[in-house]
Structure 1
Amino acid sequence: MDGKVQSAHGAIASLPAGQDEWWLVAMGAALLTAAVLFLAAGWRLHRDRQRLCDALDQFGESDFQSVPEGLDSLTLKPVAEAWDRLMPRVQTAMAMLEWSARHDPITDLLNSVSFKLAVQAHLAGAQGQGVLLVMGVSELKKVNDSLGHAGGDQMLCALADRLRLAIHALADGFGADEEPLAGRLGGDEFALFLPGEHQRADIERYIQRLQRALGEPLHIGSQSLRVKLSIGVAVGGAGAVEPQYDQLLAAADSAMSRVRSEGQGGYLFFSPAMRRAADEILEKELAIRHALERGEFCLHYQPQFNLRSGIVDSVEALIRWNHPTRGLVFPGDFIPFAETYGLIDDIGDWVMMEAIRTAARWNAEGRPLRVSINVSPKQLYRIELIPMIRACLARFSLPPELLEIEITEAAIMRHEEFSLQRIEGLRRDGVAVALDDFGTGYSNIAQLMSLPMDRLKLDRSLLDAIVTDRRQQVVAVALIGLGRELGYEVVAEGVEDERQFALLKTAGCDYIQGYYLAKPLPEADLFARIAAIRADMQTNMREVPDRGQA
């Protein structure tokens, strides 16, 4: 190294006079230029790096239009070129995502969220008035069941296409300044918002033309079908019945549900009276839910007298509601409502658990009574029914022979095969099953012979005039004899007086139940009344022979 330095020094020394200074200046300038170029390249790299970082930050904030400008450093130029190729793809993908987020994936109409936002924006405007139509479509469930959900989706798409065409076709004659908004709310419900203020007659003409356009036969697979539209109509905006979107939708949906419940299609304008009715329904629903939570329901028990043994060995459990303001409310005032509005399962579960718990305690105390519980059609069709009954019997250690389930003819015949499977399952578990309200339903003799039942309960309507009406007496006596010959025990409900009792005992009836013995009683009064019945009936039983003794 020292030799090389000495050699360079010698070379400089050998230069002609005056040139050594020039050479040194040139070398310094070259070094300075190189340093400047190096610093400039580093600065450009730092600048381009910062620009790229800023673009990435904007990208992370969903700004997909931002492009890093002027990336001229050799190191980052390939990155800029790759960015230029990537961004159009990202922008296309994001546009598709944004469109998908706003539209229904099956029909391409606005989805419920976007439809709501669009209507809200219009209602908030200076001329924010309009009419909302909620349309329920019939036949979708049938198509799904027969052709699968692909067929149902095809039906929805066809209806959406017709709705778009109808909107354009009807625009000229309706006189609206803005085009209507169409959306799918979900399931089989569509919505249409007509901006502006319109006369009722004009709205009705529009709906009638819309019904004709959408009501033409649809060809789905190999099937041709007509749909029925159930349309609820609500007017929104300043001074209207329902000024805001949520209230507007609830109003139109309420009117649509009213039309749909009648099963014929058509349209109905919402009215304040319907709102009051809806508020009453909501109030009653909340009251029933609170009753379950607060323990306001209770069971009363009506004795069933065994005409063979001369004792009360069974009771029917009947629900009552200790209402905080109305007092004791009977099931006819709330059970049909509960069945209609989806509350019957919770009530039925409570009745089942409470009745089994009580019967198990009686059995443990040495006072065994078979308890009979009514099961509604909706409860019978629940998959959880039999497992729930098994769980209750096991939890409270009640022998299954001390439980009986009462089912009506109508419930069985609505879904006969499935119902019979449930009944057979109960009987395999040792639970007795009674056919309730027999004589008022659909059973013919052939069906009666095949029903896997333990008891038949004659409806009270068959006994109303059994003493004074010879024909009714003949029918009742014949049914008792038929039931017994087929191996069923026969229970007569609604026995009100001693003459009915005497006739039924003579006819060979197995059990009687009714106010002649006792009304449904709270548990606190039950066993005292059972003791009194036994004492009272000992005399009557001796005085009235049954058919086997006559």
Structure 2
Amino acid sequence: MPDKHAVIDPITGFLDRRSCLHAAHRMLAAAESKALPLAALWIDLDRFRQINASFGHAAGDEVIARVAGRMRMVLPAGGHVLARMGSDEFVVMLSGEDRPVAEAFGRLLLVTIEQSLCVDELLIHPSASIGVAMLQPGDDGLSLLERADRAMGEAKRQGGGRLAMAAGEVLPGHHGTSLAREELAMEADLHAALDSGGLLLEYQPILSRDGRIEAVEALMRCTVFGRRLMPDRFISVAEKTGLIIRLGEWSLLQGARFAARLRDEGLPTKVAINVSRAQLTSPAFLPALHGALLCANISPELLELELTESLAMELDDVVQDNLRRARETGVGLAIDDFGTGFSSLSSLKDLPATKLKLDKSFIQVLPADQRALAVVKAATQMGRELGMVVVAEGVETEGQWKALEQAGVDALQGFAIARPMPEDALLTWLKLRKNT
């Protein structure tokens, strides 16, 4: 019986990653109760990033949809499962099929996927790496999928465009697998945090050279069952699984509400919210932004969106349209981690950004590194002439502070000013500054 709670990937019509794991557990239980074989095939398209880079993400989605259609056409009848596990990764679960059949089906998939496709009047020849694992004694649904994933990795290491069978034993985890046990545990923790109120925003002040508070940056924190998750880990898993859209929408709403609270306390301050590529490519982004502004009843000028330099330079039409329309509402736009990407000056001049945040890698070596100081001075002058407020991130020492004042940056952010803090603590901090 199909799972009525299953989530379907809109591009392929397959199950999504989380629903696949649930389906794997159900199929494994059924296979064990009836003493039937069960096979898992993990499919990864080769060189798919080149397609996105050459033709854009819309064309990449079209390729994914057409490959998915081919896979569906050759899937044998029966209680089988098709799932999309990531951008260009898929899983097929074959119930009741033994190893020769699973291997033969995998080779059929290779031939099917390798048929040429026309993209923007150019003929491309996709290929895939496929790993096949058979249910073994002691397997659970996760370990079966892990072994298929590892076998796929072996096929890719051998050059791609081929199939590899998994070894019989259950292998321990290692870094780099797409469905690592720790990542699935992290994904489950994020769902629990969303359901139980385990998410929190902390705020770090950005101080202007004249002592005013330029803005506060909202930084997401996550606590589940008494454990605090590291932001770099849970954010990367959220991006990989698509949960980043839900986290991003939550951040927009909470940040807007805090901006309203600051205003009502007589401390009107811009609140900067980080946004991801997944959000900016989603048609739900602008409705979520407008909804946050309406729910909080704040002026758009009290909200600022922070995005990385590489995302700011994203050529995707949807991304650029969302950025342009966000600016048209009056919301600020800050380019974060500037200097770590590959911006061209011709592109930078066309950005609707209001703020440029210099990456901390330039700041940490000050004041000793005079070459870094020269870069900071040049970037500050350029940003100011483009009408942007220039912020130095990661300021931790008095020496860095003085060097940055010498360089002429407009504002500073880092532990030398204040660490990130919860709402109530920040309100107290702001009131103390106001009264001194």
Interval of TM-score (by shorter of Structure 1 and Structure 2): 0.7 to 0.9
Query: What pairs up with 1:365-444 in 2 under 5 angstroms?
Result: 365-444=265-344
Which protein shows a greater Rg?
1
The DSSP-based 3-state class of the residue aligned with 1:338 is helix
| 1:232 lines up with 2:131 in the alignment | yes
What is the rounded CA distance, in whole Å, between the counterparts of 2:72 and 2:267 in structure 1?
Answer: 66
Residue-pair matches, total: 388
Instruction: Report deviation, 1:460.
Output: 0.6
* SS in structure 2 of the partner of residue 332 of structure 1: helix
Normalising by structure 2, report the TM-score.
0.73
Amino acid of the structure 2 residue aligned with 1:350: W
Query: Which consecutive unaligned segments of at least 5 residues does structure 2 have?
Result: 1-22, 85-89
CA contact (8 A) 1:259 1:268 kept: yes
Instruction: Compare 207-216 and 473-482 and name the one that shifted more.
Output: 207-216
Tell me which amino acid in the other structure corresponds to 2:256. I
> Shift of residue 473 of structure 1?
0.9
Contact 2:259 2:269 in 1 (8 A): yes
User: Which residue of 186, 192, 204 maps to 1:302?
Assistant: 204
Q: For 1:232, what is the secondary structure of its paired residue?
A: strand
Q: 1:292 aligns with which of 184, 191, 194?
A: 194
> 1:454 and 2:358 equivalent?
no
1:487 aligns with 2:401: no
Question: Could you list the per-position Cα deviations for residues 173-220 of structure 1 after superposition, in whole angstroms to 9, with x for gaps in the alignment?
Answer: xxxxxxxx998948877677996678xxxx99x899878866876487
Does 2:246 correspond to 1:346?
A: yes
Paired AA for residue 282 in structure 1: L
- Taking a change above 3 Å as real, the CA distance of residues 137 and 499 of structure 1, as seen in their structure-2 partners, is closer
Q: CA deviation at 1:232?
A: 2.2
Label 1:298 to 1:185 Cα distance change in 2 as closer, same or farther (>3 A): closer
Please name the residue that 1:317 is paired with: 218
Instruction: Give the Cα–Cα distance (whole angstroms) in 1 for the partners of residues 212 and 402 of structure 2.
Output: 16
Give the aligned partner of residue 17 of structure 1: none
Q: Please report the TM-score for the alignment, with normalisation by the length of structure 1.
A: 0.59
- 8 Å Cα contact 2:117/2:125 also seen in 1: no
Amino acid at match of 1:307: R
Find the residue that maps to 1:272 and give its secondary structure.
coil
Q: Distance in 1 between matches of 2:132 and 2:374?
A: 55
Q: Relative to structure 1, is the Cα distance of residues 481 and 283 closer, same or farther in structure 2, using a 3 angstrom cutoff?
A: same
Q: Is 2:308–2:337's contact at 8 Å kept on the other side of the alignment?
A: yes
**Structure 2 CA distance, aligned partners of 1:347 and 1:124?**
41
2: distance between equivalents of 1:333 and 1:406?
19
Distance in 2 (CA, whole Å) between partners of 1:504 and 1:220 is 52
Query: Higher relative contact order at CA 8 Å, sep ≥6: structure 1 or structure 2?
Result: 2
- Helix, strand or coil for the counterpart of 1:407? strand
- Aligned partner of 1:540 in structure 2 is none
Kept in 1, the 8 Å contact 2:106–2:132? The answer is no
Which residue of structure 2 aligns with residue 156 of structure 1? 70
1:272 and 2:170 correspond:
yes
Query: C-alpha separation between the residues in 1 aligned to 2:79 and 2:173?
Result: 25
- Find the counterpart in structure 2 of residue 522 from structure 1: 422
8 Å contact 1:132–1:248 — kept in the other structure?
no
Q: What is the SS of the residue equivalent to 1:472? A: helix
SS of the counterpart of 1:301?
strand
SS at match of 1:495: coil
C-alpha offsets along residues 463-517 of structure 1, whole Å, 9 cap, x if unaligned?
1112001111111111111111221110111111122212212222111111111
> Deviations 1:156-181 (Å, cap 9, x if unpaired)?
39995xx99xxxxxxxxxxxxxxxx9
Return closer, same or farther for 1:416/1:481 CA change in 2, 3 Å cut-off.
Answer: farther
- Give me the whole-angstrom Cα distance separating, in 2, the residues matched to 1:526 and 1:386: 29
Whole-angstrom CA distance in 1 between matches of 2:145 and 2:306: 39
Q: Deviation per CA, 1:265-321, whole angstroms, max 9, x where unpaired?
A: 54454453468965443332222111122111111111111114x222411111112
Match of 1:472 in 2: 372
Cα distance between partner residues in 1 of 2:156 and 2:299: 43
Distance in structure 1 (CA, Å) of the matches to 2:294 and 2:245: 20
Q: Structure 1 residues 396 and 253 mapped into 2: Cα distance closer, same or farther (>3 Å)?
A: same
Superposed displacement of residue 524, structure 1: 2.1
Change (3 A) 1:153 1:389: closer
The SS at the match of 1:521 is coil
Q: 2:402 aligns with which of 495, 502, 506?
A: 502
In structure 2, the residue corresponding to 1:505 is in which secondary structure? helix
- SS of 1:414's equivalent in the other structure is coil
Question: Structure 1 residues 232, 354: closer, same or farther in 2, change over 3 A?
Answer: same
Question: How far off its partner does 1:437 sit?
Answer: 0.9
Distance in 2, matches of 1:234 and 1:482, equals 56
CA contact (8 A) 1:234 1:248 kept: no
> Secondary structure of 1:337's partner?
helix
Secondary structure, in 3 states, of the residue corresponding to 1:334?
A: helix
Which amino acid counterpart does residue 393 of structure 1 have in structure 2? L
Structure 1 stretch displaced more, 251-260 or 278-287: 251-260
